[in-house]
A and B are shown apart, each in its own frame.
Chain A
């Protein structure tokens, strides 16, 4: 059967068949004995049907290419149902996901991946290494959201799968969407062409008011509660330094064109201390030291009612730069004279650009995107930041990347227990610098 043939194999078959048919593909021609999936439609599967996953599927289906969503997977039935409703209402026949191609549960991802040419991996980040590994093993192109892992073992798994994806020439785009945003691309290209000299310092921020809470419900198992409230548990989220701030840390690595060799910092749970907030910190301040001795300061926090900031600044030997997600990109020399300022008006939506470019490559049979390794490096920079704030130790990149302590549960089931559990008062254990060991 040709059902599981890759898109390229199907295309080769089409070409060959077309030659047989005198070089012309006749419409309505019936391929004797050939499954109707032998066509040029790019089949996509959505793994993780939350609001962001649904958003990613919208963006994929909004591209100008011939796409069909053919499978969906989620741990939760209600998430899948809501997502399916929104997608089918908006895209009609482009959403071809009958009940038998809707998969629910912890193993749903394998079945959905098998049915597609391209997979969208948009579950909470703790599952990403497992899902990415499977997608590459099955020979699929990938769009995956950040972060790509939450601990060192997960990162190693992603790096190995990234290598295999390269060998197989599978396009991989990661949702660090600033990489696809014009102001960042244009401004950082100028920096790398030497516009402000060598970068010796910088400051990157994600200071905001925090995120949602999903209070515990009656009769909920611990696994169900942690899955619903995934932001507050490290095996699923990695703490907000990894889940959100990785965006800004990735800009530091991009501008430096390197990853740090050493990471140290401090953090705590200053006010978000109640039992609704799992185990994560609400603030981290981290120093990233690169091989050339330059230091980038990183700061992220979830405090209500304080001054917020989400942006990146860097200082170079010949000038400085300011970047932010609202399309700013400004370069100045050391006299304060503006060298370059990106026009903030009328820019494309980077969340859409990610998919426009990925599917253009896939439809054009090109191998153009290998984001996974780069994204894994930036995610590991953020993870090392968490290792530093939780332990109070100086974290060396090479050593930390070898760490064996996986946060992942030993068993995935609704009645199984995650590794971190609440005490009698409903409070979870929280890392304590000087006491907490992160690398063993």
Chain B
């Protein structure tokens, strides 16, 4: 088992995370600690009230997680055959998704394209697999972390301002995507070096979707807010996707997961792992600057899935 010692006073910088024993890696951008105003007056009521949020520092993946990195987690034999050294036993033992019956790329392509259609449980188990592979704790962003990173210091509707006509330079969405996902990193990044935060695919957060959550936080500045989920639906995805319009790509726009995303799953219980009708949702990773305790990490990864009837 790899042990990474994380000094809390460490200078935070962007880095590349290599996955030992493979040719795979992914890039992480440093997101500084700070405060921001969360929410917007130009969207739905669930974006109100605008409230002050204070966050600790973290890293966030520069790109959405791509199939290239995700597939060794999905396919055990594929992982073995594509590893340069034997797969460590603790990695081999990770609970893996059931193999999807359908083509989960939906014909939109795979290489360099965002992995899609996974449930939040699936996304968290992927984080666990990365942890087992690297010894570094990765998790999903909280909703507040996601919006903070998306804004990258901007109080406007988009990280580049309020002019939606500029979206074409920064995002794949309904006007330019030809109804499909695109390889990550082809559009311009935001000020913190994050690509495709808006559009391409919406991204999982950890939070339960509560339309009145902001109102429940009170007037004072709130530190590291999170609506810890205790049910299967609705959970929050953020950022809008290739088939969404400009309004849904705003930094403050919130979208809730829905049972209809699994409508055509013919089995009962329905899959804990896949949404056959949500090709618009993917993953972006977060690593907190301060690594939680081993017990906290295990609690995060080992939450049992809620059966879906």
Chain A positions near chain B (C-beta within 8 angstroms): 51-52, 54-58, 86, 89-90, 177, 207-212, 244, 271, 304-305, 307-311, 324-326, 349-351
Do A51 and B268 form a contact, CB below 8 Å, given A305-B78, A305-B82, A307-B110?
A: yes
| Interchain CB contact under 8 A, A54 and B102 | no
Determine, out of B9-17, B51-59, B93-101, B298-306, the stretch whose residues face the partner at the interface. B93-101
Query: Is the CB of B293 closer than 8 A to any CB of chain A?
Result: no
A326: chain B residues within 8 A (beta carbon): 106, 277, 279
Instruction: Contact check, A208 vs B102: say whether CB atoms are below 8 A apart.
Output: yes
Residue of A nearest to B264 (CB): A349
Instruction: Tell me, rounded to whole Å, the shortest Cβ–Cβ distance linking A374 to chain B.
Output: 20
Task: Given the known inter-chain contacts A52-B267, A89-B309, A349-B263, please indicate yes or no for A209 contacting B74, CB distance below 8 A.
Answer: yes
Q: List the B side residues contacting A351 at CB < 8 Å.
A: 264, 266
Contact B99 A208 (CB under 8 A): yes
Contact with A along B90-130 (1 / 0, CB 8 A): 00000000111111111100100000000000000000000
Task: State the Cβ distance, B76 to closest chain A Cβ, in Å.
Answer: 8
Whether the Cβ atoms of A86 and B107 lie closer than 8 Å is no
Q: Can you pick out 29 interface pairs between chain A and chain B where the beta carbons lie within 8 Å of each other?
A: A54-B268, A55-B266, A58-B268, A58-B309, A89-B309, A177-B266, A208-B101, A209-B74, A210-B99, A211-B101, A212-B98, A212-B99, A271-B77, A271-B81, A304-B71, A304-B77, A305-B71, A305-B75, A305-B78, A307-B105, A307-B110, A308-B103, A310-B102, A310-B103, A311-B107, A325-B264, A326-B279, A349-B264, A350-B264
| B268 CB contacts on chain A under 8 angstroms | 51, 54-55, 57-58, 86
- Asked if B269 lies at the interface with its beta carbon under 8 angstroms from chain A, I say yes
7 smallest CB-CB distances across A and B, nearest first, come from: A304-B75, A308-B103, A305-B78, A51-B267, A304-B78, A54-B268, A55-B268
B99 and A209 contacting across the interface, CB-CB below 8 Å: yes
Known contacts A51-B268, A55-B267, A86-B268; A209/B75 CB under 8 A: yes
Bound-state Cα–Cα, A52 to B265, Å: 9
Closest to A344 in B: B179
Chain A residues, CB < 8 A from B77:
271, 304
Among the listed A86, A177, A304, A307, which residue makes an inter-chain contact with B269, where contact means beta carbons less than 8 Å apart? A86
- Grouping DSSP codes into helix (H, G, I), strand (E, B) and loop, the B interface class, with mixed when no group exceeds half, is loop
Chain B residues, Cβ within 8 Å of A56: 266
A309→B107 contact, CB < 8 A: yes
CA distance A310 to B276 in the complex (A): 13
Q: Please give me the residue from chain B that is nearest to A326 by CB atom.
A: B106
Q: With CB as the reference atom, state the residue of chain A lying closest to B98.
A: A212
Chain B residue at minimal CB-CB distance from A354: B266
Cβ–Cβ contact A86 & B309, under 8 A: yes
By a CB distance below 8 angstroms, the chain A residues around B78 are 304-305
Please, how many angstroms separate the alpha-carbon atoms of A86 and B268 in the complex? Answer: 8
Residues of A within 8 A of B110 (CB): 307
Other than the given A305-B82, A310-B102, 11 more pairs (CB < 8 A) read A52-B266, A86-B269, A207-B103, A208-B100, A209-B75, A209-B99, A212-B98, A305-B71, A307-B110, A308-B103, A349-B263
Chain B residues, Cβ within 8 Å of A58:
268, 309
User: Within the assembled complex, what's the spacing in Å between the Cα atoms of A55 and B102?
Assistant: 17
Residues of B within 8 A of A209 (CB): 74-75, 99-100
Once bound together, how far apart are the Cα atoms of A126 and B81, in whole Å?
34
A311 to B279, CA, bound (A): 16
Closest to A348 in B: B263
CB distance from B233 to the nearest CB of A (A): 16
User: Closest Cβ of chain A: how far from B169's Cβ, in Å?
Assistant: 28
Contacts of A325 in B (CB 8 A): 102, 264
State A90–B279 Cα separation when bound (angstroms): 28
The distance from the CB of A383 to the nearest CB of chain B, in whole angstroms, is 20
Q: Which residues of A contact B82 (CB under 8 A)?
A: 305
Considering the chains assembled together, what is the distance between the CA atoms of A89 and B268 in angstroms? 12
CB distance from B209 to the nearest CB of A (A): 21
* Residues in A whose Cβ lies below 8 Å from that of B279: 326
A211 touching B99 in the complex, CB below 8 Å, given contacts A51-B269, A55-B266, A58-B268: yes
CA distance A209 to B74 in the complex (A): 9
Interface centre among A55, A304, A307, A311 (most CB of B within 10 A): A304
Q: Which residue of A lies closest to B75 (CB)?
A: A304
- With CB as the reference atom, state the residue of chain B lying closest to A210: B99
Q: State in angstroms the CA–CA spacing of A308 and B277 once bound together.
A: 17
| A308–B263 alpha-carbon span in the complex (Å) | 22
For A54, the chain B residues whose CB sits under 8 A away are 267-269
Nearest residue (CB) in A for B179 is: A344
**B104 / chain A contacts, CB cutoff of 8 Å:** 308
Q: How far is the CA of A325 from the CA of B279 in the complex (A)?
A: 13
Across the interface, name the chain A residue whose C-beta is closest to B270: A55
Give the residue name and chain of the B residue nearest to A205 (CB). B103
Question: How many Å lie between the Cα of A115 and that of B42 in the bound state?
Answer: 60
Complex formed: what's the CA distance from A304 to B71 in Å?
Answer: 8
Q: In the complex, what's the smallest C-beta–C-beta distance from B123 to chain A, in angstroms?
A: 18
CB-CB < 8 A to A310: which residues of B? 102-103
Q: Is the CB of A244 within 8 A of B267?
A: no
In whole angstroms, what is the CA distance A349 to B279 when docked?
17
Q: How far is the CA of A305 from the CA of B78 in the complex (A)?
A: 6
Contacts of A57 in B (CB 8 A): 268
* Chain B residue with Cβ nearest A56: B266
Which of B103, B264, B266 is in CB contact (< 8 Å) with A309?
Answer: B103
Using a CB-CB cutoff of 8 Å, which residues 264-309 of chain B contact chain A?
A: 264-269, 277, 279, 309
Interface flags, B48-82, vs A, CB<8A=1, else 0: 00000000000000000000000100110110011
Q: How far is the CB of B228 from chain A (nearest CB, A)?
A: 25
Instruction: With both chains docked as a complex, state the minimum distance between the C-beta of A76 and any C-beta of chain B, in angstroms.
Output: 16
CB pair B103 A208 closer than 8 Å: yes
Binary flags per residue of B223-266, CB closer than 8 Å to A gives 1, else 0 = 00000000000000000000000000000000000000001111
Docked complex Cα distance between A207 and B102 (Å): 8
Interfacial chain B residues near A271, Cβ < 8 Å? 77, 81
**Docked CA distance A57–B77 (Å):** 35
CB distance from A272 to the nearest CB of B (A): 8
| Residue among B98, B104, B268 with max Cβ neighbours from chain A (10 Å) | B268
CB contact between B107 and one of A177, A212, A324 (< 8 Å): that residue:
A324
Complex alpha-carbon distance, A52 and B270, angstroms: 9
Question: Which residues of chain A have C-beta atoms less than 8 A from B102's C-beta?
Answer: 208, 310, 325
Chain A nearest Cβ from B273, distance in angstroms: 12
Closest chain B residue to A325 by CB distance? Answer: B102
Contacts of B103 in A (CB 8 A): 207-208, 308-311
With a cutoff of 8 Å between Cβ atoms, the chain B residues found around residue A210 in the complex are: 99
> Roughly how many angstroms separate A319 CA and B159 CA in the complex, as a whole number?
45
Cβ contacts under 8 Å, A309 to chain B: 103, 107
Chain A neighbourhood of B265, CB < 8 A: 55
